Amino acid sequence: MNTPDSPRETNPLLQGEAIQPHPIRPAQTVADLVDDTFLAYNAGRLREVCHLFANKMLDEDVTVGISLTGALTPAGLGMSCLIPLVESGMVDWIVSTGANLYHDTHFGIGLSMHRGSPFIDDTLLRREGVVRIYDILFDYRVLLSTDAFFREIISAPEFQKTMGTAEFHHLAGRYVAERERALGLSNQSFLAATHRCGVPVYTSSPGDSSIGMNVAAKALEGNRLQLDPSVDVNETAAIVLGAKQSGGKSAVFIVGGGSPKNFLLQTEPHLQEVLGIPEAGHDYFVQITDARPDTGGLSGATPGEAVSWGKVDPSSLPDTVVCYCDSTIALPILTTYALTRRGARPLKRLYDRREALVETMKEEFKKNVKRENP
């Protein structure tokens, strides 16, 4: 039995790094701050997230999918974090709420949102034509202008068909990018950045946003655009299977939770449970959330629980981290850390490979059906 006087090196429980941070100094970089002083509690978990993301998930053979919930883009996180991550090749495919993409578009078409207060009388705001997202304020006409923009572009010939949301967002991103150029703007819209970088963007609930409402409004006028969720389910699963079959790994980076979280993770059950394709689960799992797991909410479901569904490879549990933190705090820190410690990697341009990846998955599915029904 070890006594209080036993040397640290003889006790396997005390092999962790000693907590002896240096004093914080002026002009210390964010990356150094994370490494030197984020040592315990959720600061410690954020440090682990930064290390896992920069040191393992950003290897060139890893395909990184990210899910986005919460009002991130109205707060400027599209410009400050998501565009740098996309352009640096650190995110290969995305599942987002439609709201994040809709509010991102405001910036790309030259509209503004403003810092405000969460304590303003909302009846006054309504009378003055001002909309509030907590402490973000903007003119009601921003919504009307963005609605008009989407109704205009989806009237174009290329939208008159059934498609998945990745194709829809790629086409929309091209129009946003063109509007940026016409207005003399740059790096305003991350949807435009995903178009340029070939990063497919999916929405798990396409009707649950102002974009979806405008698609529905145009349908009343005879517009033939229809968004097919089956296309998205198959394309996202094919992306994961392609990553694995090429000898690489699949990583999931979950910002918040909700429907985009499950849509990102369900790629593995779709392969294993539904299509019968042998697979073990995602290799890396990172989540930034403020949701508790004990209330039954999807947003708080842990990596261990995900193992029971086949969503995460059980052998990969050491490479999973959940950080209980506000995403608007953690995401800028993580982005800065990754750009500082790791730097850019080549773009995978998965948007251009979607059809080929689905065809490969289809062949694997057919082989499985033949094995079950010889």
Q: How many CB atoms lie within 10 A of CB 68?
A: 30
Q: Provide the residue type at 80 as one letter.
A: S
Q: Which of 218, 244, 311, 348 is catalytic?
A: 311
CA 245 – CA 165 distance, rounded (Å):
25
DSSP state of 162: E
> Three-class SS of residue 121?
coil
Which residues, 6 or more positions from 7, have their beta carbon under 8 angstroms from its beta carbon?
A: none
Bridge partners, residue 93, by sequence: 65
Helices (H) and strands (E) in the chain, counts: 16, 11
Rg (CA), the chain: 22
The CA-atom distances, in angstroms, between 124 and each of 69, 129, 132, 134, 140 are 28, 9, 11, 15, 13
Residue closest to 306 by CA, chosen among 67, 61, 56? 67
> And the tokens for 309?
């569904």
Q: Provide the residue type at 259 as one letter.
A: S
- How far is it between the farthest Cα atoms of the chain? 81
Residue closest to 61 by CA, chosen among 279, 284, 260? 284
The answer to whether residue 311 is catalytic is: yes
Residues recognised as catalytic: 311
